[in-house]
């Protein structure tokens, strides 16, 4: 019997051992696995400092949680490229029943990450952030070419642009993809880039300096917190703005975001990519998490002919026999 339980991340118990995916608390006598360094996937409590994760994720745990996690290996666990952000990993737990946990993942190759690839498994635990048919993303190279054309025109006329992106993930993709433009970075993004440069990534760019930075420039920022005032001041001086999000495919996103342009650039799979990934993994059972988990599980059952169930908070335990 294999038991999968929701709570403190997702746990998987089999053959007398407990494996825990993206736990909020790392506990002794469990195999803890951290898929990537976004804060909603990082532990906040550490009863143990041992975890299966990438070196990049280890460094961000140190930076964001001030904990020096020790990377461990396990003979049952294989780490696989997730393609979500730098250092993101999927986990394949081997045994009588094999379980693949995707965490957040992307099957498109991007500037800093290779594409996630499907692996045969008995049980698949997949995210479903964009698990509705309307979310189909453009080719990465094609959309970035559109972005560069838009920015080239602004810079050519001695203008400035503000790019809103998550500080860890898309900001590094933009840094790498737009390196030939006059980039300046928010300090938080610059620090994230410095951490990753230690791992060999070419992410060098200047920090924004309110006293020295003059147009033309392309400023990458989250636009949140204390930076909101700076953004408003730059907009009053004529700076153009753009948001980068998968939700840009939603009608009304551009207007609601109050930006000049919105580009559908995502670090997640689109609906078509999620479906193709599930099919190629050939699982006997699929559990869906996050986003449109219910809708995507229904699609898997109805259209792919594979048993599927959403993992939702009020249903705490899911038992599966293989």
The CATH number of residue 68's host domain is: 3.60.15.10
Q: Does residue 1 or residue 192 have the better pLDDT? A: 192
The answer on 94 and 14 residing in a single domain is yes
The answer on 302 and 243 residing in a single domain is no
The answer on 186 and 169 residing in a single domain is yes
The answer on 126 and 22 residing in a single domain is yes
The answer on 149 and 101 residing in a single domain is no
- Express the helix, strand and coil content of the chain in percent, nearest 5 each: 30, 25, 45
The answer on 272 and 256 residing in a single domain is no
CATH no. for residue 152?
3.40.50.10890
The answer on 259 and 163 residing in a single domain is yes
- Residue ending a domain, among 263, 282, 307, is 263
Q: Select from 205, 199, 197, 237 the least CA-distant residue to 221.
A: 205
Domain count, the chain: 2
Q: How confident is the model at residue 2 (pLDDT cuts 50, 70, 90)?
A: low
Q: Is the pLDDT of residue 317 over 70?
A: no
Task: Please provide the distance, in angstroms rounded to a whole number, between the alpha carbons at the two ends of the chain.
Answer: 7
| Residues 185, 291: Cα–Cα separation, whole Å | 30
Tell me the average pLDDT across 271-289: 99
Alpha helices in the chain (DSSP H): 55-65, 140-156, 170-177, 187-197, 227-236, 253-257, 271-281, 293-299
Range of the domain at 27: 2-135+268-320
The answer on 130 and 272 residing in a single domain is yes
Task: Give the number of other CB atoms < 10 A from CB of residue 156.
Answer: 9
Q: How confident is the model at residue 266 (pLDDT cuts 50, 70, 90)?
A: very high
Q: Is the pLDDT of residue 94 over 80?
A: yes
- Residue ending a domain, among 221, 248, 263, is 263
Is the distance from CB of 286 to CB of 300 less than 8 angstroms? Answer: yes
Per-residue pLDDT reduced to its tens digit, 33-77: 999 999 999 999 999 999 999 999 999 999 999 999 999 999 999
Per-residue pLDDT reduced to its tens digit, 123-154: 999 999 999 999 999 999 999 999 999 999 99
Per-residue pLDDT reduced to its tens digit, 163-209: 999 999 999 999 999 999 999 999 999 999 999 999 999 999 999 99
- Residue ending a domain, among 242, 263, 284, is 263
The answer on 22 and 126 residing in a single domain is yes
The answer on 125 and 155 residing in a single domain is no
Parallel, antiparallel or unpaired: strands 10-14 and 17-21: antiparallel
| Residues 58, 186: Cα–Cα separation, whole Å | 23
| Residues 164, 160: Cα–Cα separation, whole Å | 13
The answer on 111 and 152 residing in a single domain is no
Q: How confident is the model at residue 316 (pLDDT cuts 50, 70, 90)?
A: very low
The answer on 237 and 168 residing in a single domain is yes
Report how far Cα 140 is from the mean position of its chain's Cα atoms.
Answer: 15
Query: What single-letter DSSP state applies at residue 69?
Result: P
Is-above-0.85 flag for pTM?
yes
């Amino acid at each position: 019997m294999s038991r999968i339980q929701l709570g403190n991340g997702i746990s998987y118990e089999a053959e007398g051992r407990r494996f825990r995916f993206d736990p909020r608390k790392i506990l002794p006598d469990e195999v803890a696995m951290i898929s990537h360094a976004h804060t909603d996937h990082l532990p906040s409590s550490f009863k143990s400092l041992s975890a299966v994760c990438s070196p990049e994720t280890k460094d961000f745990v140190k930076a964001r949680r001030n904990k020096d996690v020790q990377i461990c290996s396990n003979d049952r666990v294989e780490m696989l490229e997730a393609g979500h952000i730098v250092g993101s990993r999927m986990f394949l737990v081997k045994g009588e029943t094999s379980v693949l946990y995707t965490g957040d993942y992307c099957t498109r190759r991007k500037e800093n990450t290779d594409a996630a690839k499907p692996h045969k498994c008995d049980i698949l635990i997949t995210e479903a952030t964009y698990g509705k048919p309307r979310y189909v993303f453009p080719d990465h190279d094609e959309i970035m070419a559109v972005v560069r054309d838009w920015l080239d025109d602004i810079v050519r006329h001695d203008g400035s642009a503000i790019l809103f992106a998550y500080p860890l993930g898309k900001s590094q993709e933009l840094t790498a993809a737009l390196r030939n433009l006059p980039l300046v970075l928010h300090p938080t993004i610059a620090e994230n880039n410095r951490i990753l440069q230690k791992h060999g990534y070419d992410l060098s760019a200047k920090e924004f300096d309110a006293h020295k930075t003059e147009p033309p420039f392309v400023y990458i920022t989250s636009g949140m917190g204390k930076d909101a005032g700076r953004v408003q001041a730059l907009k009053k001086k004529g700076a153009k703005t753009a948001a980068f999000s998968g939700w840009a495919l939603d009608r009304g996103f551009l207007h609601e975001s109050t930006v000049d342009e919105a580009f559908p650039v995502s670090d997640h799979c689109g609906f078509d990519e999620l479906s193709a990934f599930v099919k190629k993994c050939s699982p006997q059972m699929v559990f869906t998490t996050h986003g449109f988990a219910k809708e995507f599980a229904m699609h898997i059952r109805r259209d792919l002919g594979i048993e599927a169930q959403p993992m939702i908070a009020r249903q705490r335990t899911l038992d599966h026999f293989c």
